[in-house]
């Protein structure tokens, strides 16, 4: 009878926070790299607004720039979930490096994996995974949340295309050598004229313009891109002509999980800093963590981070399992970015006056986290996506 009862009981799934041994070791190796080789330069890179080239080179050497592609492309052959683990662990030390790795993996490489033909995959994924940073170029001055209002134009010249226009707020703009550029090839068709093109840094008519002076993630370059009769080979169309809108939407759906992981890492870093400080800081004859009010704040931070981790990990697992994940991705990005801001703000408060100066790390976490509610779809856009999907259920 006991055997029969045991057989009838449903198998209990592992909690989402439980990692496989491979995932645990991978995350630990990324953390070790970040702590030993990135952390000593974080403040310098933030102040100079520039990523150290040797750190970028080390990311390629460790396989962090091409986590999902297989060995045939020079990649690590890992999962999307592992890419999110890397993004989280890097963000715990430096959000700027985290977003560079994020954009290379979840946007640029994923676009090639999902939509590139064999020739484009072989030519560009191999470079993106081994030695060349990538960038994803959708936004424009008048085309942010309304991404399909873009004004960059492409013209078919028979044996090549010419692109004219300007892109704004492009992550990795200075470091990138390969750019996925969205331009409208036939404006009469509206958004159905949008096409994705692969542009290399050395292409005629292409220039990297002004680098933005930002509040946070300052070591990550965010640049304007200029296209003045930029000549693009005919074979450098990514996916089908006129299907760029589909590539843009579906790639961003995946990328939002990466931003969720970035915000999760930031929140974790702010919490750990605050927890450590409250154990050391003494007021009225005792460590401030002995005060119940402080304890409640720490508890709230930990709860919110755990909830964000569950949401981010769940969305990434769903994506790897080829299950619907768009609603979960939007929820994960929305919630984790709000958690990061709330936790970083509380961390600054717990540090008191020290939290407001650059001698301590929490002011940087506070500056870095704000972008999470803006890029790859604002919080309001995530709410709109979630609501649409709820109403359609």
Catalytic (active-site) positions: 376
Exposure letters 122-160 (e unless 16+ CB within 10 A, then b): ebbbbbbbbebbbbbbbbbeebbeebbebebbbeeeeee
* φ and ψ of 331, to 5 deg: -65, -45
Task: Provide the pairing of β-strand 153-156 with 160-171.
Answer: antiparallel
Q: Of 180, 197, 202, 179, which is closest to residue 235 (Cα–Cα)? A: 197
DSSP 277: H
**Is the distance from CB of 329 to CB of 256 less than 8 angstroms?**
yes
Per DSSP, what are the bridge partners of residue 156? 161
What distance in Å separates the CA atoms of residue 49 and residue 93, rounded to the nearest whole number? 16
SS3 content of the chain, % helix, strand, coil (to 5): 60, 15, 25
Quote the CA–CA distance of 73 and 126 in Å, as a whole number: 4
Q: Is the dihedral of CA 104, 100, 97, 299 positive or negative?
A: negative
Residue 282 in tokens: 């003494």
8 A C-beta contact, residue 261 and residue 251: no
């Amino acid at each position: 009878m006991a055997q029969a009862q045991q057989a009838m009981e449903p198998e209990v799934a592992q909690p989402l926070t439980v990692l496989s041994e491979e995932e645990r070791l991978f995350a630990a190796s990324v953390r070790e790299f970040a702590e030993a080789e990135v952390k000593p330069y974080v403040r310098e890179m933030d102040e100079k607004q520039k990523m150290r080239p040797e750190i970028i080179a080390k990311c390629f050497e460790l396989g962090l720039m091409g986590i999902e592609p297989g060995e045939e492309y020079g990649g690590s052959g890992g999962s999307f979930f592992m890419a999110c683990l890397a993004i989280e662990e890097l963000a715990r030390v430096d959000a700027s490096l985290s977003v560079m790795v994020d954009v290379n993996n979840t946007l640029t490489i994923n676009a090639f994996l999902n939509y590139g033909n064999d020739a484009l995959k072989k030519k560009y994924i191999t470079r993106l995974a081994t030695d060349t940073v990538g960038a994803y170029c959708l936004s424009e001055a008048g085309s942010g949340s309304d991404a399909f209002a873009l004004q960059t134009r492409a013209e078919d010249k028979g044996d090549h295309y010419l692109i004219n226009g300007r892109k704004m707020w492009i992550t990795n703009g200075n470091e990138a050598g390969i750019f996925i550029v969205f331009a409208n090839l036939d404006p009469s068709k509206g958004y159905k004229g949008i096409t994705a093109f692969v542009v290399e840094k050395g292409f005629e008519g292409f220039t990297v313009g002004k680098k933005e002076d930002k509040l946070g993630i300052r070591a990550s370059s965010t640049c304007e891109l200029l296209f003045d009769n930029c000549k693009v080979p005919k074979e450098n169309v990514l996916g089908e002509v006129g299907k760029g809108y589909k590539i843009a939407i579906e790639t961003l759906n995946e990328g939002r999980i990466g931003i969720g992981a970035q915000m999760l890492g930031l929140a974790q870093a702010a919490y750990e800093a605050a927890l450590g400080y409250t154990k050391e800081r003494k007021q009225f004859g005792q460590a401030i963590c002995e005060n119940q009010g402080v304890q409640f704040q720490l508890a709230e931070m930990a709860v919110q981070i755990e909830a964000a981790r569950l949401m981010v990990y769940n969305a990434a697992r769903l994506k790897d399992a080829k299950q619907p994940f768009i609603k979960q991705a939007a929820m994960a990005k929305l919630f984790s970015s709000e958690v990061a801001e709330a936790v970083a703000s509380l961390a600054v408060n717990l540090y008191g006056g020290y939290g407001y100066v650059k001698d301590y790390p929490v002011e940087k976490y506070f500056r870095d986290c704000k972008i999470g509610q803006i890029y790859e779809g604002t919080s309001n856009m995530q709410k709109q996506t979630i609501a649409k999907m709820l109403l359609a259920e």
